[in-house]
C-alpha cells in the first residue's frame, strides 16, 4: 500500500471518528438511563408505599368518661349487660347539646364498635370498678381517624366528605379538651382481620404465614437437600436422572398458579385435607420452592472441590460417609442460603394460596396447622380490594411489614453467604 | 389417642431402638472378643434397628391416614336413614360436611336433627376406633421391628451396607418428587379439562370469540348459555405480556450491558443488589402499586391528553409487570454476556472498534441465542404472572389490541372462576382447569425451548 492510500484511509476513519464517538456516548447513556429508570421505579414504589402507609402506625383514640351504673352491671351476669348503651350514654353526657335523632346517630358513629369490647374487657378484669366513673381511651371510628390524619379535608364541600360539619365541630371540641390524640397503633400488630379498619390487624395473617412457612421449611429443606445430594453425588448418568433434571428445571419456571390448581385438585379434592389451612398451603408452597432449593443445593455441592471427596475415599470412607461427614457440612451454608431465599419467595407468594381457599375472611388468630387462616400477602390482597380509605393505609403498612420480613430474611442469607463463603 | 401422639410415641420408640441395637451389638461382640470383630461400627447397628422400627410402621401409618376419612365417610353414609341416602351427591356432600363440622365442634349450618346427631356420634366413634387401632398396629409393628433386628444382629451382619442402601433409597424417593409433581399437575389439570371438554367442545373453547362464563342456575334465565370461547382471554394475555416485554427487554438488556461492560466496580456493587431488590418484591405488592399508583396516573395523563383511558387499562398492568421482570431479564442477559469469551472482545478492539461497536456487532450477535432464551423465559413469567393482573387488569373479556382498554387474562379468569363458593362440577370451575391446562402447556413449551437454547449456547463457549 502506498503512502497516499494510507492517508486516504486514515482520512475516512478520522472523518467517521466524531460520529462514532457520539454513538459510543449515546449508547453508554442509554445504558445508564435504563438503570436509572429501573432504580427510580424502585424508589417510586417504596416512596408511594411508605407515604401511604406510615400513618397506619398511629391510631386516633378518644378519651371517654364512662359511668358504670350498678343497676346495669350485675357482677353475676356481666355478659348480658348493655355495653353499647353505656358507651352511647357516655357520649350523650359528653355532648349534651345533641338532641335530634339524626345527630345522635352521627355522634355514635364517631366511636369505633371496638369500644364496646374494650369496655367489656375492662369490667371483666376489674369488676370492682362498677359504680364509679372511669375514663377510658377508646379507638375512634376510621373516618375520624382519617380526618385527624388529614386525609379528609375541611375545605371540601360538606356533601363530598364522610364527616359533616357538625361532626368536625365535635372533633374540634374534643381536641380542645385534649380528649382526642394519636398514639401508637398496637391493635394493628395484635389483632386479626376485621371489617372495621380501625380494628383490623395483621397478627392473624402473620401467624398463618408462620405456620405455613413452618410446614414448607420442614418438608422442603430435608427433601430438597436429599434430592440434591442424590443427583449430584450418587446418581448415575442415565435417562432417568436426565428426566428428573428436566423436570426440576421446568418446575422452577412453571407459573405459581398452576401449583395452586394442583393443590386444589389433589390435596383438597382427592385427599380431603382441610380447606384454607396452613397445612395445605405449606404443602403447595413446598412443591413450589423445592426446585429453588434443589438447584441452590446442587450449586453448593458442586462448589466443594473433588479433592475433599478423594481424600475421604482414600482413607477408607464409604461413599455415604464421604458425603455425610465431609461434603455435606462444607456445602451446608450454601444450602441454607438457598433455602432462606426459597422461603422468602414462599412468604411473598399469593396466587397458589388463593386457589386453596386461603382468601376467606378470618377474624380468629389461627392456633394450629389445621385452623382456617390467611397469610400476609393474601391479607394485603384482601385489604387492597376494600373500598374504605382507611384500608389503603392499612394495606401499605402491611406491605411494609411484609417487606421488612423479606429484607431480614435476605439479609440473613447474604450474611451467611459472606460469613461461610469459601474460595477453594 | 390422636395420630400426633402415635407419631411422637413412634419417634420415642425409634430412639429406644437405636440404643437397644447399639447395646446389642456390643453384647454379641463381647462373646467373640470385643467390638473389633463387628463388621460395622456399633452406631450402624443402632441406626439399622431404628430404621427397622420406623420405616414399615411409618408406611402403614401414612397409608392408613390417607384412606381413613374416605372409608369412615362411606360407613357413616351407609348407616344414614334412607331419605338422606337418596339425596343427590351434592346434597349428600353437604350433609356429610355438617356431620364433620359437628364432630369437630364447629358451627353447623342449621340445627342438627337427631339423625345427623347420631350420625355424628357414629362418625366420632368410628374415628376413635380407627385412631386407636392404627396406634396399636403401628406400635406393635415398631416393637416387632426392634425385636427382629435384635435377632439378626451378629458380628457378621453388614449393618453399614444395609443402612447405606436404605439411605440411598430414601434419597432416590426424594429426588423423584419432582417427577411426581409434574405428573400430578398434568393429571389433575387434564382430568378436569377432559370433563370440561365433554360439555364444551375443544374447538369452540380454543377458537371461540366470546367469553362470558356465566352458567344460569335455572334454564329459563336470561343469558343462560355461557360462552366459553377463549380467544379474547388469550388476546388479553398476549397484549399484557407484549407490553411487559417491551418494557423489560430493552431496559433489562441495556442495564445488563451497562453493568457488565461500562460500570466501574463501585457503581456495580451498589446498583446490582438494588436491581435484585426489584426481583424480591412480592407480586402482590406490584399489584397494589399498579392498581393504586400507576393506573390513576395513566388515566389522568390520558384524560389530560384527551384520551379515554379505562381505569383498569392493560397498559398499567403491563407496565408494572414489565418493571417486575426487568431484573429477571437483566440477570439472565448478564450471565449470557459474561459467557462470551474475552478473545472475541479483544479481536474486535484490535480491529479498532469502539466499545459500543464491539457490543453491538460482536457481543450481542454472539450472545443472541442466550438472550433469546432469556426473553422466552421472561415471556413465560409474564404469561403466568397472576397477582398484578388480578389486582390491576379487568374482568371483562374484550377482544381488542388497544392498550388503553380493559382486557382480561388467563390467570385472572382462573382466579375469578375458582375463588369463592362454587360447586366443583359446574362448567365454570372446570373452565378454570381448561385455562390452566392451556397455561401449563404454553409455558412448558416456552420453558423447554428456552432451557434448550440456553444450554446449547453455554456448551458452544465451554
Secondary structure, 3-state, A142-173: HHHHHHHCCCCCCCCCHHHCCCCHHHHHHHHH
Give B422→chain A minimum CA distance, Å.
Answer: 12
Asked whether the beta carbons of residue A254 and residue B323 sit closer than 8 angstroms, the reply is: no
Domain positions in chain A? 3-54, 57-192, 203-420
Sort B74 into a burial class: Cβ within 10 Å, 0-12 / 13-18 / 19+: exposed
Q: CB of A311 within 8 Å of any CB in chain B?
A: no
Using left for φ > 0, alpha for ψ between -120 and 50, and beta otherwise, residue A144 falls in alpha
- Which residues of B fall within a CB distance of 8 Å from A222? 174
More confident residue, A132 or A298: A298
Contact A187, A201 (CB under 8 A): yes
What local confidence, expressed as pLDDT, does residue B143 receive?
Answer: 92
Q: CA-CA distance, A183 to A139, in Å (whole number)?
A: 10
Give B220→chain A minimum CA distance, Å.
Answer: 31
Which of A184, A187, A174, A199 is CA-nearest to residue A65?
A174
Residue of B nearest to A242 (CA): B179
What local confidence, expressed as pLDDT, does residue B218 receive?
Answer: 53
Listed as ranges, residues in chain B with pLDDT below 70 are 1, 89-90, 104-112, 214-225, 420-425, 462
What local confidence, expressed as pLDDT, does residue A7 receive?
Answer: 83
Backbone angles phi, psi at B31, to 5 degrees: -60, -35
Is residue A5 over pLDDT 80? no
Among A67-76, A244-253, A407-416, the range scoring the smallest mean pLDDT is A67-76
Asked whether the beta carbons of residue B384 and residue A256 sit closer than 8 angstroms, the reply is: yes
Q: CA-CA distance, A173 to A180, in Å (whole number)?
A: 9
What local confidence, expressed as pLDDT, does residue B221 receive?
Answer: 53
Which of B45, B55, B21 is CA-nearest to residue B138?
B55
Q: CB of A351 within 8 Å of any CB in chain B?
A: yes
Give the residue range(s) of CATH 1.10.3720.10 domains in chain B. 227-460
Is residue A3 over pLDDT 70? no
Give A121→chain B minimum CA distance, Å.
Answer: 25
Is residue A83 over pLDDT 70? yes
What local confidence, expressed as pLDDT, does residue B124 receive?
Answer: 84
What local confidence, expressed as pLDDT, does residue A198 receive?
Answer: 87
Is residue A379 over pLDDT 90? yes
What local confidence, expressed as pLDDT, does residue B115 receive?
Answer: 76
Q: CB of A365 within 8 Å of any CB in chain B?
A: no
Give B371→chain A minimum CA distance, Å.
Answer: 17
Report ipTM (2 d.p.).
0.90
Q: CB of A58 within 8 Å of any CB in chain B?
A: no
Residue of A nearest to B288 (CA): A384
More confident residue, A218 or A81: A218
- Which residues of B fall within a CB distance of 8 Å from A226? 170-171, 174-175
Give me the mean pLDDT over the A5-33 stretch.
Answer: 89
Give me the mean pLDDT over the A162-191 stretch.
Answer: 88
What local confidence, expressed as pLDDT, does residue B108 receive?
Answer: 55
What local confidence, expressed as pLDDT, does residue B112 receive?
Answer: 59
Cα dihedral value B312, B315, B321, B325, nearest 10: 180
Asked whether the beta carbons of residue B440 and residue A247 sit closer than 8 angstroms, the reply is: no
Distance from the first to the final alpha carbon of chain A: 54
The CATH number of the domain covering residues in A203-420? 1.10.3720.10
The rounded mean pLDDT for chain A is 88
* CATH architecture assigned to B227-460: Orthogonal Bundle (1.10)
What local confidence, expressed as pLDDT, does residue A420 receive?
Answer: 82
Q: How far is CA A201 from CA A360, A376, A384, B227, B391, in A?
A: 15, 11, 14, 41, 21
The 10 Å CB-count burial string (b at 16+, else e) for B365-396 is ebbebbbbbbbbbbbbbbbbbbbbbbbbbbee
Confidence of residue A31 (pLDDT cuts 50, 70, 90): very high
Model confidence pLDDT, tens digit, residues B74-111 = 888 887 777 777 777 667 777 777 777 777 666 555 55
Asked whether the beta carbons of residue B271 and residue A39 sit closer than 8 angstroms, the reply is: yes
Amino acid at each position: 500500500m502506498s503512502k497516499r492510500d494510507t492517508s486516504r484511509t486514515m482520512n475516512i476513519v478520522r472523518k467517521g471518528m466524531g460520529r462514532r464517538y457520539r454513538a459510543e456516548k449515546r449508547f453508554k447513556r442509554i445504558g445508564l438511563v435504563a438503570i436509572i429508570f429501573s432504580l427510580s421505579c424502585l424508589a417510586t414504589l417504596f416512596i408511594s408505599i411508605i407515604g401511604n402507609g406510615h400513618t397506619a402506625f398511629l391510631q386516633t383514640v378518644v378519651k371517654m368518661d364512662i359511668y358504670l351504673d350498678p343497676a346495669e352491671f350485675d357482677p353475676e351476669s356481666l355478659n348480658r349487660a348493655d355495653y353499647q348503651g353505656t358507651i352511647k350514654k357516655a357520649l350523650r353526657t359528653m355532648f349534651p347539646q345533641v338532641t335530634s335523632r339524626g345527630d345522635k346517630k352521627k355522634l355514635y358513629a364517631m366511636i369505633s364498635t371496638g369500644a364496646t369490647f374494650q369496655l367489656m374487657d375492662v369490667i371483666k378484669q376489674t369488676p370492682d370498678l362498677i359504680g364509679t366513673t372511669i375514663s377510658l381511651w377508646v379507638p375512634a371510628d376510621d373516618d375520624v381517624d382519617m380526618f385527624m390524619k388529614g386525609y379528609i379535608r375541611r375545605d371540601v364541600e360538606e356533601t363530598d366528605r364522610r364527616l359533616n360539619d357538625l361532626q368536625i365541630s365535635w372533633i374540634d371540641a374534643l381536641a380542645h379538651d385534649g380528649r382526642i390524640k394519636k398514639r401508637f397503633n398496637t391493635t394493628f400488630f395484635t389483632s386479626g382481620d376485621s371489617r372495621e379498619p380501625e380494628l383490623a390487624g395483621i397478627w392473624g395473617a402473620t401467624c398463618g404465614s408462620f405456620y405455613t412457612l413452618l410446614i414448607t421449611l420442614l418438608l422442603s429443606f430435608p427433601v430438597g437437600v436429599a434430592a440434591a445430594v442424590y443427583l449430584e453425588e450418587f446418581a448415575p448418568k442415565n435417562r432417568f436422572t436426565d428426566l428428573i433434571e428436566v423436570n426440576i428445571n421446568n418446575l422452577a419456571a412453571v407459573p405459581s398458579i398452576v401449583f395452586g390448581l394442583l393443590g386444589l385438585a389433589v390435596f383438597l379434592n382427592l385427599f380431603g385435607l382441610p380447606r384454607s389451612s396452613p397445612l395445605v398451603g405449606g404443602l403447595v408452597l413446598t412443591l413450589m420452592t423445592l426446585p429453588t432449593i434443589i438447584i441452590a443445593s446442587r450449586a453448593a455441592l458442586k462448589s466443594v472441590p473433588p479433592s475433599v471427596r478423594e481424600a475421604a475415599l482414600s482413607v477408607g470412607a464409604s461413599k455415604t460417609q464421604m458425603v455425610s461427614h465431609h461434603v455435606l457440612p462444607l456445602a451446608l451454608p450454601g444450602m441454607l442460603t438457598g433455602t432462606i431465599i426459597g422461603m422468602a419467595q414462599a412468604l411473598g407468594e399469593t396466587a397458589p394460596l388463593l386457589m386453596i381457599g386461603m382468601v376467606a375472611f378470618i377474624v380468629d388468630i389461627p392456633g394450629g396447622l389445621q385452623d382456617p387462616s390467611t397469610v400476609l400477602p393474601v391479607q394485603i390482597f384482601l385489604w387492597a380490594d376494600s373500598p374504605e380509605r382507611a384500608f389503603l393505609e392499612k394495606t401499605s403498612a402491611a406491605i411494609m411489614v411484609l417487606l421488612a420480613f423479606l429484607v431480614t430474611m435476605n439479609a440473613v442469607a447474604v450474611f451467611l453467604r459472606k460469613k461461610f463463603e469459601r474460595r477453594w | 389417642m390422636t395420630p400426633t401422639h402415635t407419631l411422637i410415641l413412634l419417634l420415642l420408640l425409634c430412639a429406644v431402638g437405636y440404643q437397644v441395637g447399639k447395646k446389642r451389638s456390643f453384647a454379641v461382640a463381647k462373646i467373640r472378643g470385643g467390638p473389633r470383630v463387628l463388621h460395622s461400627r456399633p452406631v450402624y447397628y443402632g441406626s439399622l434397628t431404628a430404621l427397622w422400627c420406623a420405616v414399615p410402621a411409618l408406611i402403614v401409618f401414612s397409608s392408613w391416614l390417607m384412606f381413613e376419612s374416605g372409608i369412615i365417610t362411606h360407613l357413616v353414609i351407609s348407616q344414614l336413614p334412607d331419605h338422606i341416602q337418596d339425596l343427590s351427591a351434592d346434597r349428600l356432600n353437604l350433609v356429610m360436611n355438617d356431620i364433620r363440622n359437628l364432630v369437630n365442634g364447629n358451627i353447623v349450618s342449621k340445627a342438627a336433627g337427631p339423625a345427623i346427631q347420631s350420625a355424628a356420634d357414629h362418625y366420632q366413634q368410628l374415628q376413635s376406633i380407627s385412631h386407636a387401632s392404627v396406634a396399636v398396629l403401628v406400635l406393635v409393628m415398631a416393637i416387632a421391628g426392634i425385636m427382629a433386628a435384635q435377632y439378626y444382629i451378629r458380628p457378621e451382619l453388614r449393618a453399614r451396607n444395609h443402612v447405606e442402601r436404605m439411605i440411598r433409597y430414601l434419597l432416590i424417593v426424594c429426588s423423584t418428587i419432582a417427577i411426581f409433581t409434574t405428573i400430578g399437575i398434568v393429571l389433575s389439570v387434564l382430568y378436569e379439562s377432559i370433563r370440561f371438554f365433554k360439555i364444551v367442545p375443544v374447538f369452540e373453547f380454543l377458537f371461540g370469540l366470546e367469553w362470558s362464563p356465566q352458567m344460569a342456575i335455572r334454564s329459563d334465565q336470561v343469558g343462560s348459555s355461557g360462552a366459553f370461547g377463549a380467544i379474547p382471554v388469550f388476546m388479553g394475555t398476549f397484549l399484557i405480556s407484549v407490553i411487559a416485554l417491551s418494557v423489560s427487554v430493552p431496559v433489562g438488556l441495556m442495564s445488563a450491558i451497562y453493568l457488565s461492560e461500562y460500570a466501574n466496580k463501585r457503581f456495580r456493587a451498589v446498583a446490582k443488589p438494588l436491581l435484585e431488590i426489584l426481583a424480591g418484591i412480592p407480586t402482590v405488592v406490584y399489584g397494589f402499586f399498579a392498581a393504586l399508583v400507576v393506573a390513576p396516573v395513566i388515566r389522568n395523563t390520558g384524560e389530560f391528553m384527551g384520551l379515554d383511558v379505562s381505569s383498569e387499562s392493560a397498559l398499567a398492568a403491563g407496565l408494572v409487570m414489565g418493571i417486575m421482570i426487568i431484573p429477571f431479564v437483566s440477570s439472565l442477559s448478564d450471565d449470557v454476556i459474561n459467557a462470551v469469551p474475552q478473545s472475541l472482545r479483544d479481536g474486535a478492539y484490535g480491529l479498532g472498534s469502539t466499545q459500543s461497536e464491539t457490543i453491538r456487532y460482536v457481543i450481542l450477535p454472539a450472545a443472541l441465542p442466550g438472550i433469546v432464551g432469556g426473553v422466552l423465559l421472561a415471556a413465560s413469567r409474564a404469561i403466568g404472572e397472576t397477582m398484578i393482573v388480578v389486582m390491576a387488569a379487568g374482568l371483562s373479556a374484550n377482544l381488542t389490541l388497544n392498550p388503553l382498554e380493559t382486557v382480561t387474562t388467563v390467570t385472572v379468569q382462573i382466579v375469578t372462576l375458582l375463588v369463592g363458593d362454587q360447586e366443583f362440577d359446574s362448567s365454570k370451575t372446570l373452565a378454570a382447569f381448561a385455562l390452566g391446562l392451556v397455561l401449563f402447556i404454553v409455558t412448558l413449551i416456552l420453558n423447554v425451548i428456552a432451557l434448550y437454547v440456553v444450554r446449547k449456547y453455554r456448551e458452544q463457549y465451554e
